[in-house]
Structure 1
Amino acid sequence: MTTTDAAAEVVEVGPRDGYQGIKPFIPTEMKIDLLRRLVSSGLKRVEIGSFVSAAALPQLADTTEILAACDDIPGIIPQVLVPNEKYGRLALNAGSRFLAFVLSVSEAHNRNNVRRSPRESAEEYGRLLAAMPDDVDMRLNIATAFDCPFEGRVAEAETIALLDCLVPLRANIELCLCDTTGRASPDHVEHLFAACMQRFPQVKRWALHAHDTYGLGLANVHSAWRQGVRAFDASYAGLGGCPFAPGATGNVATEDVAWMFRRMGIDTGIDLETLIPVACDGAAIPGGLPGGRVRQALAAAAANAPCL
């Protein structure tokens, strides 16, 4: 997490968020090969998987193996998602040095996702922090920060109230507000980040996790950038969608985010010409639901083979 104020860090979440809803199992060797190619395009921090129940998300059952393979991928910063204390400890035991703990503002979504209330998840987060070695980084994902698939729009006060419990536990983390359903609008994104940044000035690093379900993913990224956010989750080929949020399709596409920032003169370190062929292959994964626009536009402009 060393991005300067003039640059944007794109956190690639395709190998976790992009894959988790795909039913046919993607061979582990293929996942590792795609991971190498993503890093070769200039992406550094990659959410490579999640320590979760294999019965709930069988696609991610090989996360331990993929984490081990990262030792042979120069430059990668492997991040893993954990939904509770138990799986956080398993991730630490497997050698992970960058955890992303997720909990929801919405009671209904948190119970549907991890069978706990948000406050119970907050308590587990605190216990996990206490057990973490000093050399492990933590990212805190606040799901349904804007909207819930079951309860609708989430009041700003609810998100801030949960953060009131979480931020005092540790401020030197990255705090990510997640548009789980893709129903947030640019003004909502800008207003919530402004309110959170004002209330929690001790948080030095903010991030946005945007979905493009209703075509507002890039607009929301731009709004967050204008508010001072410098880290953005994205999924190559626009793959993704939360299995526990009905109707939430893919994340904003990595190539779309990289293209927008390049046109704005903002550095991401991503080489689009290298990324596009990987995104085309990602879009062709059986069972995947690709999204985004830049992949198709640049592949056509380069006279590449037809790209899904």
Structure 2
Amino acid sequence: MTEAVEIVEVGPRDGFQGIGPFIPTETKLSFLERLVGAGLRRIEIGSFVSASALPQMRDTPEILAACARWPTLRPQVLVPSERRGREAAAAGARDLAYVLSVSDSHNRNNVRRSPSDSADEYARLLDGLPPGTFVRLNLATAFDCPFEGRIGEAQVLALLDRLVPMKPDAEICLCDTTGRADPAQVGALFAAAQARVPQARTWAFHAHDTYGLGLANVHAAYARGVRVFDASFAGLGGCPFAPGATGNVATEDVVWLFERMGVATGIDLSALIPVARDGAAIPGGLPGGRVREALSTNPDACAAARLT
């Protein structure tokens, strides 16, 4: 085995947030239990946001409290502002993913403020977090914006210049919000970012599969030394504030990719496939991915993912 990767399951947040019919809290918890049982350890269980803007996320505090029943689980929550970050910390969240967009248009459409204002809020939030809080910084639209098109490297690097020194040990995640990035762009941006802010310790990648390049982009990021990858079981997802963007790369597809490459993920694909199959059947969801269907007709083939 070569160096292992960490897959961060974002289905319970990114995968669920755009689904119209409210998913009962107990159903969400059942999916969480099964995902943990499949070997996933860091799961983005929801977001602290306006209930009127994203009603599907209104039970995140309740779900966060229930996560104590799974000792191996690191429940991560997404926060888009200083206020929501403080609310999450007060509710007991110790893994926070703060999100802001590189593009002005997307950030204003998402949180009604400029990226510069969001950067100021990030600084203030950091000052008041409880000791030991793990912080991830998500840079949405790092590659492409639904309103402005392709984002230039200089724009991303300028934002990193400002943000990384605030907390050099934060995990930095570059996000392909629209799914329009390509492997060459992904590799080039990670190379430029790593050279620009070498003090950043951990890099992550958040891919969408809108145009079928999700796994290729994951591989391109891996080739640049990235070892943390977001994925959503059943390929559920799509940003409500990015018109046309469909789901994230499917967790089962990412596991299959890395296990075939001889890269350990710690995830039991045979346990994950049934969860993904049930996730694809959630009313109102928009599933994606390929491995789920391929292995559903031949469960014994799960063992073929691991070559060594």
In the alignment, which of 244, 247, 250 is matched to residue 250 of structure 1? 247
1:210 maps to 2:207: yes
Q: Which residue of 2 aligns with 1:44?
A: 41
Query: What is the Cα-based RMSD across aligned positions, in Å?
Result: 1.2
CA distance in 2, matches of 1:32, 1:40: 12
* Aligned-partner residue type, residue 143 of structure 1: A
1:214-258 CA deviation, whole Å, 9 max, x = no partner?
A: 000000000000000000000000000000000000000000000
1:72-125 CA deviation, whole Å, 9 max, x = no partner?
A: 013100000000000000000100000000000000000000000000000000
Q: Which residue of 1 aligns with 2:78?
A: 81
Give the match's secondary structure for 2:297.
Answer: helix
Give the match's secondary structure for 1:120.
Answer: helix
Taking structure 2 as the reference length, what is the TM-score of the superposition?
0.96
Offset of residue 213 of structure 1: 0.2
In the alignment, which of 258, 261, 266 is matched to residue 261 of structure 1? 258
The answer on whether the counterparts of 1:5 and 1:230 sit within 8 Å (CA) in structure 2 is no
In the alignment, which of 190, 195, 203 is matched to residue 192 of structure 2? 195
1:159 maps to 2:147: no
Q: Which residue of 1 aligns with 2:32?
A: 35
CA distance in 2, matches of 1:128, 1:295: 40
Give the match's secondary structure for 1:240.
Answer: coil
- How does 1:83-162 map onto structure 2 within 5 Å? 83-162=80-159
Offset of residue 303 of structure 1: 8.5
1:16-38 CA deviation, whole Å, 9 max, x = no partner?
A: 00000000000000000100000
1:25 maps to 2:54: no
* Structure 1 residue ranges, 4+ long, deviating more than 6 angstroms after superposition: none
1:180-205 CA deviation, whole Å, 9 max, x = no partner?
A: 00000000000000000011111110
CA distance in 1, matches of 2:84, 2:196: 30
1:127-162 CA deviation, whole Å, 9 max, x = no partner?
A: 000111221100000000000000000000000011
CA distance in 2, matches of 1:99, 1:121: 15
* Aligned-partner residue type, residue 151 of structure 1: E
Give the match's secondary structure for 1:273.
Answer: helix
Unaligned 5+ runs, structure 1:
none
**Residue-pair matches, total:** 301
Taking structure 1 as the reference length, what is the TM-score of the superposition?
0.96
Unaligned 5+ runs, structure 2:
302-308
1:70 maps to 2:106: no
Identity across the alignment (%): 68
* Aligned-partner residue type, residue 290 of structure 1: P
1:16 maps to 2:13: yes
* Aligned-partner residue type, residue 161 of structure 1: A
CA distance in 1, matches of 2:206, 2:13: 13
The answer on whether the counterparts of 1:180 and 1:248 sit within 8 Å (CA) in structure 2 is yes
CA distance in 1, matches of 2:110, 2:121: 15
The answer on whether the counterparts of 2:255 and 2:269 sit within 8 Å (CA) in structure 1 is yes
* Aligned-partner residue type, residue 89 of structure 1: R
* Aligned-partner residue type, residue 23 of structure 2: I
Offset of residue 302 of structure 1: 2.3
* Aligned-partner residue type, residue 204 of structure 1: R
Q: Which residue of 2 aligns with 1:228?
A: 225
Give the match's secondary structure for 1:81.
Answer: strand
Give the match's secondary structure for 1:190.
Answer: helix
Q: Which residue of 2 aligns with 1:275?
A: 272
CA distance in 2, matches of 1:146, 1:277: 33
1:294 maps to 2:294: no
1:36-89 CA deviation, whole Å, 9 max, x = no partner?
A: 000100100000000000000000000000000100013100000000000000
Give the match's secondary structure for 2:208.
Answer: coil
Offset of residue 5 of structure 1: 7.7
Give the match's secondary structure for 1:20.
Answer: coil
Give the match's secondary structure for 2:212.
Answer: coil
* Aligned-partner residue type, residue 6 of structure 2: E
